[in-house]
Structure formats: C-alpha cells, structure tokens
C-alpha cells in the first residue's frame, strides 16, 4: 500500500512538472495559457499559479479573515452553477482578463421566472426547481424580440409587468443610449423607446435602472458614467447628462438631473425610498453612495482613488468630499473591488442574516454581506465571501430562497443556497 502511495505521489509530481513546463512554453501566448489553466482541476490551477508566480502565496496569507464557501461567518452555503448557453463576443475584452471571448449578461426575476439577457439582447426565460437535492432549470426558452443592431445591453429591470432595458446603439462616430420597455407577457417582446437622448457617448459603461416615485411622479432612475480623462469634468456640468443620475418621468416623458458628480454608477437600489448607488472609482475608491436630490458626489474633483497611470508625490484628487461641498460616500473601498450590483436580502433568507444587503464585485470575485445603520450614513459591518468568479449582477429568487449570481465571461448562473 505504501509503495502505491509513493508511486501516486511521484506521478503527481511529474504531472505538475509537465504542466509547469507547458505553461512556461505558452507563457507568451495568453489565450492558450488561459485555456490550459482553466481546464485543470481547481487544486492544480492553484499549484500552477503559485509555481509560476510565487508572490501569489502572499494572497493566501493576507486572506485569513476572508470566508471561502461553504463557510461564512454564521452559516454554510451551497454553491453550484448552470450554463445558460449564451454566445461569447470578442469585443468584451478588457485589461482584467486574458481570455479573448467573453460572455456578459444581466438578470431579473418576475414571479417564478428568471429573465437573463446578454449584451446583444438575447433573452432567455426559465424557472428553477429542486430535483433530488439539485437545483436545475425548468421550462427553459429563448424569447424573441424586435430589437436590432444592439451594441451593448447595460441593464434590465422588471416592474409592473413591464420589462425595461437600457442599451447602446453605435455608429462609426458615436454610441447612443436608449431606454425601452416591453410588456413582459407579450411574446415576442415588442420594445418601444421611452428615452433616447441625442447625445454622443464615448464608451458609456453604466445605465443602471430602478423604478422610483419622485414625489407624486412615477418614473425611472437612470445612471450614466463618465470615465475618460478628456470628458470627466462633464460630471459637474448641469448641461450634460454624463456622470449623472437622471429621473425619467413617465407622465411627461422627460428626463431631469437628479444628482451629479458620478464616475460610473454600476448599481442602483431603491429601498424604503432610500436610493443607494454603487460606483466604480478610478485606481481605488469604489463607492457606496446614498443619493440625495440635487446632491453632488464630487467626481472628478474628490475621490479616495487616484487616476490610472499617474505617479505623483502628492495626491492628484482631493481626499475630502465634505470640505469641498460634496457628499461623502457611505463607504469607499480602497483598493477597488470592481464594485457592481447591490440588493436588499429578505430577512426570511436566514435568521443569521437580518437587515442585510448583498453587494457583488467583479475583479474581487466576491460578494459582500453588508449592514447599514438606520440612517444609511455608514456601514456597521461587512463580510467578504469569496466566490471565484466576476459577478456582474445579483438577484434574490424567492421561490427557492436562493441568491442568483450573473457570472461574467464564463456565462454561468451561480446559485447560493442554505446548506
């Protein structure tokens, strides 16, 4: 028996050496290197990455207070994932991943059904059910629409049997924002345009949607980003719609500026008539903000981050919002986590998770369990829970008491349930 164990150990060592050599050969070929790595079992992925870059061991030492599934601080969570069958698109590439083709999609829930829509407006509708202790899709179908020539979908919102969509169309010179709606019970989905500003965007990264009642007027909150160095000052310009949170009034069919000074609000949430935004900072300084009417949130003058590719002895950006007459964030993540979406989790999910919000992240590959104080002026605590995937969107699914994760690039739907 001991001889057999020794042989297995030797063979395992030889396998590691061969993988390391092959990994080194492909070191200059990012796509092949990525494919080789991602097809290995998780424990071999970790071994190869540590061998290739020994400094990674520091991450393990520094993450002693980060919980890894199934463990969290007070409960255990099952994790599994489902492939949704979306196609990948090369133009989704960016600096955060070496993979060439990627998938990005947003999700929302209507009754017992989940609607997932990818960046090219391909819509999938399905229901999840429990089969022999496993959560699986049921009644899976592709939903046709009248949408054409979509450059990129930015957000989806289902409210009062209407499906709202924010997306970009593109010409050789510009990108244009559209917000449209369709009756969710009419197939194919027939979208009509609600809001179409005649404004030329340059790489609009955010157009999050939330239903909101502004006084007696019902409408949509719509976020817009401004990240390019040459355009950042537009976030402070009341004549521009960039770097703003807008309110689109259903009755007047017009949009007005609700708040200014935003960089890239990736997520919006209205809870108890409180508006929360989650915003990408520059190099550091992701923010959670409580949005007030006519509030100014400081971009690009104040930020707890700094511009990318700058090397200065002194901070380029002010590290004080309040003394510059701006509103301080509730919380700022330094370093950045690649903040994405935020939801309020029902207390029925777990007795241990009461009055909690769940925040998702992209490059941090984690979710954060958060509790605010009663005034939403500060975070009382947060718990980071490592998932290992870039999480673009997050929703709660009441039917099975589970949390759904839209996992960017591999196109999987992550599922978190009580163990």
Pick the CATH number of 69-147+225-418 from 2.70.240.10, 3.30.1340.30, 2.120.10.30, 3.40.470.10: 2.120.10.30
- Percent share of the chain, pLDDT over 70: 82
Strand partners, 117: 106, 123
Give the separation between CA 181 and CA 193, rounded to whole angstroms: 7
Give the pLDDT band (50/70/90) at residue 312: confident
DSSP state of 264: -
pLDDT value at residue 95: 47
- Residue 311 has which token pair? 């090397």
Where in 1-122 does DSSP place strands (E)?
67-68, 77-83, 105-110, 113-118
HSE (side-chain half, CA atoms, 13 Å) at 297:
33
Strand partners, 332: 287
Alpha-carbon Rg for the chain in angstroms: 23
Lowest mean pLDDT among 3-7, 77-81, 257-261: 3-7
Give the separation between CA 329 and CA 286, rounded to whole angstroms: 9
Lowest mean pLDDT among 24-38, 166-180, 335-349, 354-368: 24-38
Choose among 288, 272, 323, 333: nearest CA to 302.
323
Give the pLDDT band (50/70/90) at residue 31: very low
Using CA atoms, how far residue 259 sits from 234, 239, 241, 348, in Å, is: 13, 12, 10, 33
Total-model pTM: 0.85
- The residue extents of the domains of the chain are 4-56, 69-147+225-418
């Amino acid at each position: 028996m001991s001889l057999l164990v020794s042989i297995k150990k030797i063979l395992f060592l030889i396998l590691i050496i061969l993988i390391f050599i092959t990994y080194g050969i492909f070191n200059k070929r990012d796509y092949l290197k990525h494919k080789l790595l991602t097809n290995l079992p998780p424990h071999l992925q970790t071994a190869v990455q540590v061998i290739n870059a020994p400094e990674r061991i520091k991450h393990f030492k520094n993450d002693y207070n980060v919980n890894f599934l199934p463990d969290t601080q007070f409960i255990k969570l099952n994790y599994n994932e489902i492939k949704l069958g979306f196609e990948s698109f090369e133009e989704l590439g960016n600096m955060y991943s070496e993979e060439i083709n990627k998938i990005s999609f947003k999700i929302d829930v209507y009754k017992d059904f989940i609607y997932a829509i990818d960046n090219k407006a391909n819509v999938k509708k399905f229901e999840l059910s429990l089969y022999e202790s496993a959560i699986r899709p049921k009644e899976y179908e592709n939903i046709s629409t009248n949408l054409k020539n979509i450059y990129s979908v930015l957000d989806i919102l289902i409210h009062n049997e209407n499906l709202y969509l924010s997306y970009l169309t593109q010409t050789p010179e510009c990108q244009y924002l559209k917000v449209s709606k369709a009756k969710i019970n009419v197939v194919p989905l027939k979208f009509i345009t609600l809001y179409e500003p005649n404004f030329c965007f340059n790489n609009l990264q955010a157009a999050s949607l939330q239903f909101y009642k502004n006084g007696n007027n019902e409408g949509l909150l719509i976020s817009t980003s401004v990240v390019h160095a040459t355009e950042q000052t537009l976030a402070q310009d009341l004549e521009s719609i960039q770097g703003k949170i807008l309110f689109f009034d259903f009755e007047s069919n017009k949009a007005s500026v609700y708040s200014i000074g935003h960089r890239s609000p990736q997520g919006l949430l209205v809870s108890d008539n409180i508006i929360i935004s989650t915003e990408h900072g520059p190099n550091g300084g992701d923010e959670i903000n409580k949005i007030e009417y006519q509030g100014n949130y400081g971009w690009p003058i104040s930020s707890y981050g700094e511009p990318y590719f700058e090397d200065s002895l002194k901070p380029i950006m002010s590290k004080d919002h309040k003394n510059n007459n701006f509103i301080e964030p509730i919380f700022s993540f330094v370093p950045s986590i690649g903040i994405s979406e935020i939801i309020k989790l029902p207390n029925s999910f777990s007795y241990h998770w009461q009055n909690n919000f769940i925040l998702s992240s992209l490059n941090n590959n984690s979710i954060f369990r958060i509790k605010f104080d009663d005034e939403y002026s500060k975070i009382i605590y947060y718990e980071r829970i490592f998932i290992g995937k870039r999480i673009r969107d997050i929703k709660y699914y009441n039917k099975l008491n589970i949390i759904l994760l839209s996992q960017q690039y591999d196109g999987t739907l992550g599922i978190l349930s009580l163990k």
